[in-house]
Amino acid sequence: MVAETDLPRRQTEAHRPRVVIVGGGFAGIHAADGLARLPVDVTLVDRRNYHLFQPLLYQVALAVLSPADIAQPIRSIVRKRPHTQVLMDEVIGIDAAGRAVTLASGARLGFDYLVLATGATHSYFDHPEWAPLAPEDH
């Protein structure tokens, strides 16, 4: 059993609802944007430390852009939101009854509200043998 840990949180009023957003893609960043105007504490968790602008991936593949042109640190995107913090970690479990997510680092992160914005995965049209030949998002 994983113990509850003291994950770093900014000093805020105890009664503010805690919102955990999993995923720092378009959906997660958009959710964090909207929630920044509300009296809640937001923790955005992503296994990567950067937001990837996927529509321009092909330009990187063609060497028209460098990878850094389409990847921006999530922390820098939300830096002006005082009640939003970012954790680089992977969510590996959800305890809905206990209102907590389990992180790959071993920590548990409690929430009052959970936003799952983990994106989509690839479809190989019933050909899993194609997967090793294609780029994986991990």
Ligand X SMILES: Cc1cc2nc3c(=O)[nH]c(=O)nc-3n(C[C@H](O)[C@H](O)[C@H](O)COP(=O)(O)OP(=O)(O)OC[C@H]3O[C@@H](n4cnc5c(N)ncnc54)[C@H](O)[C@@H]3O)c2cc1C
d(CA 40, CA 36): 8
Work out whether 46 is an interface residue with ligand X (CB under 6 A). Answer: yes
Q: What minimum distance in Å lies between the beta carbon of 55 and ligand X?
A: 3
The C-alpha atoms of residue 138 and residue 135 are separated, in whole angstroms, by: 9
Runs of H (alpha helix) within the chain: 26-35, 57-61, 74-77
Q: Which is nearer to ligand X, 24 or 41 (CB)?
A: 24
31 binds ligand X (CB under 6 A): no
CB of 21 to ligand X, least distance (A): 9
In the complex with ligand X, which residue's Cβ is closer, 2 or 39? 2
Residue 131, both tokens? 């997967």
